[in-house]
Amino acid sequence: MEDNSLKILGSCAALPSLKMNQSAYALNMNSKTFLIDCGENTQQSLRHYCVNHSRMNHIFISHLHGDHCFGLIGLISTLDLLGRRSDITIHSHKGLEEAMRPQLDFFCNYLHFKVLFETFSPFTSEIIYENDKIEVSSIPLKHSIPTSGFLFREKPHRRHLRADKAKFYNIPIEQYKFILNGDDYVTPDGMIVPNSNLTLPPSPQKSFAYLSDTAYNEKVVDKIKGVDILFHESTFLEKDRVRAKQTFHSTASDAAKIASLAEAKKLVIGHFSARYRDRKSFLEEAKPIFENTFLGNDGNEFTF
């Protein structure tokens, strides 16, 4: 799996199909792997699709429906068997630890690492995790139970130093870090070279948004503006709009509309209901609204 990529580990909604699993997604970003949701059998998908879990220390659970977290206990148990020794943190709404702890205590009391639970509110948008390079924000969604989406975004990069200018002004190496942080350069004879002459604008911040499960909800648009990849659930087709509304899910058209409003660069749709045998119809419905749409089937990988 490449860096800065999304791998689909499970593309099914509540019912798994014969060959595809319930919700689970691996995100590689800045050399770290994050697991998003963890339906049953995620451990096999991780292996099947060659996701290296040694750098996977954080799991994000969008909401507490079983098809998004029943794979946690098996995964944790197997990681231990495979020799894991570093702690793992599960980020979720309140309730997951209480439901899982008796199982963990009973079946996994031998673990060689800690399973830590970090909770966040489903009702606000907040930074729920950060490291030196990225931050993860929660996004309240509109589902039958409290549910959060996630925005993974790189922190702002520094400007790029122009090698030609550094050479031209003979800038000492120890000055580089100040220039990269925005300082002007003062030559030994007192001339001020403005930072804008020495540097190029920083690289754009890569970003990935995960919105599942949710009904159509324009409130999310401002939070994910210009995202590189938007994953948006698309449980139903328009012909089943009534069912989508009843169950607080989206259609392929809904997903495409949100991608369009958010000016996303790429839309990946998934969380498909088992009632549809042929998933091409999802694309046929979404593409007229948002051309750059892709099916997020198990095993598919998207780079950004």
Which of 40, 233 has the CB closer to a copy of itself? 40
Residue pair 90/128 in contact (Cβ under 8 Å)? The answer is no
**278 in active site:** no
> Which residues fall within 8 angstroms of residue 18, CB to CB, at 6 or more apart?
none
> Which residues fall within 8 angstroms of residue 64, CB to CB, at 6 or more apart?
92, 93, 95, 96, 99, 145
Under rule CB under 8 A, which residues in 21-40 are in contact with a copy of itself? 40
Q: Does 122 bind a copy of itself (CB under 8 A)?
A: no
Q: How far is the CB of 236 from a copy of itself (least distance, A)?
A: 16
Interface segment toward a copy of itself; rule CB under 8 A; list 105-113, 151-159, 199-207, 232-240? 105-113
- Choose which of 54, 66, 187, 203 interacts with a copy of itself (CB under 8 A): 66
> Which residues fall within 8 angstroms of residue 106, CB to CB, at 6 or more apart?
none
- Choose which of 11, 23, 28, 43 interacts with a copy of itself (CB under 8 A): 43
Beta pairing class for 88-92 and 56-60: parallel
**Single-letter residue type at 281:** S
Which of 102, 201 has the CB closer to a copy of itself? 102
Which of 65, 153 has the CB closer to a copy of itself? 65
The angle at the Cα of 285, spanning 40 to 240, to the nearest 5 degrees, equals 65
Q: How far is the CB of 103 from a copy of itself (least distance, A)?
A: 5
DSSP per-residue string spanning 203-239: PPPPEEEEE-S----GGGGGGGTT-SEEEEE--B-GG
E-strand ranges in 30-180 read 32-38, 56-60, 88-92, 115-119, 127-130, 134-140, 148-154, 160-161
Interface segment toward a copy of itself; rule CB under 8 A; list 10-18, 131-139, 222-230, 252-260? 10-18
Q: What distances in angstroms separate CA 226 from CA 140, 151, 223, 259, one per listed residue?
A: 18, 12, 9, 9
- Choose which of 98, 132, 164, 174 interacts with a copy of itself (CB under 8 A): 98
Under rule CB under 8 A, which residues in 149-208 are in contact with a copy of itself? none
Which of 15, 200 has the CB closer to a copy of itself? 15
Interface segment toward a copy of itself; rule CB under 8 A; list 15-23, 123-131, 192-200, 245-253? 15-23
* 267 half-sphere exposure, CB direction, 13 A CA radius: 30
Which of 56, 100 has the CB closer to a copy of itself? 100
The site string for a copy of itself over 45-64 (x = CB under 8 A, - otherwise) reads --xx---------------x
Query: Which tokens go with 28?
Result: 């590689």
- Choose which of 6, 9, 16, 252 interacts with a copy of itself (CB under 8 A): 16
Catalytic annotation, residues: 67
